[in-house]
Amino acid sequence: MMHKHYFEALDKTMRDLFRFVNPSSATNTFGGKIVVLGGDFRQILPVIPKCTRVLRLTKNLRLNNMEPGLEMQQVEEFTNWIDLIDDGTFGCSNDDCAEVDIPQEMLLPSTSDPISTIMESTFMMFKNGDCDNNFLESRAILAPTLHVVNSINDYMSNMHIVETGYT
């Protein structure tokens, strides 16, 4: 957990640095660059003004907000697996890096086109021509580079054009 001043300093620094490459970067958050922040969300407790009691997180509230139809037991097993990795009780140590074997059922089958494999697994309703907005809102793909983002967008756009017949 960090103070907001650290993020404000990072924002100002990135805006300042990238304005030489792109003058509009000075007006964009983090200079227009995507910033991914991570951490152990189990350590973030709710802030209750003027409260003296220490609260402990005991339930995964994300499991309570799941859409109907998803296998609750599968998601709970996955959450427990992630918790074991985070606690350092799963996997074997290899110097300062832990080696974790990912169960086969969590992996996507390897094909010649990894983007189509990921897209068809994440947005499987496009294969059937369905477009349920609630389903789309609960899905996301985190891409490491803009090149991958553009490839995914191109793939989805082409898939939409084929399904609808629009160009």
Report DSSP letters for 86-121, one per residue: HHT-SSEEETTEEE-PPPGGGSPPP-S-HHHHHHHH
pLDDT of 46 reads 62
pLDDT of 15 reads 92
Give tens-digit pLDDT for 50-71: 776 665 666 666 666 666 655 6
pLDDT of 101 reads 80
| Helical ranges in the chain per DSSP H | 4-18, 61-64, 72-87, 114-122, 133-137, 146-164
Q: Which residues of the chain have pLDDT under 50?
A: none
pTM metric for this prediction? 0.44
SS3 39: coil
| DSSP-derived pairing of the beta strands 97-99 and 92-94 | antiparallel
Cross-strand partners of 92: 99
Phi/psi at 98 (nearest 5 deg)?
-90, 140
pLDDT of 104 reads 84
The Cα 110–Cα 132 span in angstroms is 27
Phi/psi at 128 (nearest 5 deg)?
-90, -5
Backbone φ/ψ region at 147: left (φ over 0), alpha (ψ -120 to 50), beta: alpha
pLDDT of 98 reads 66
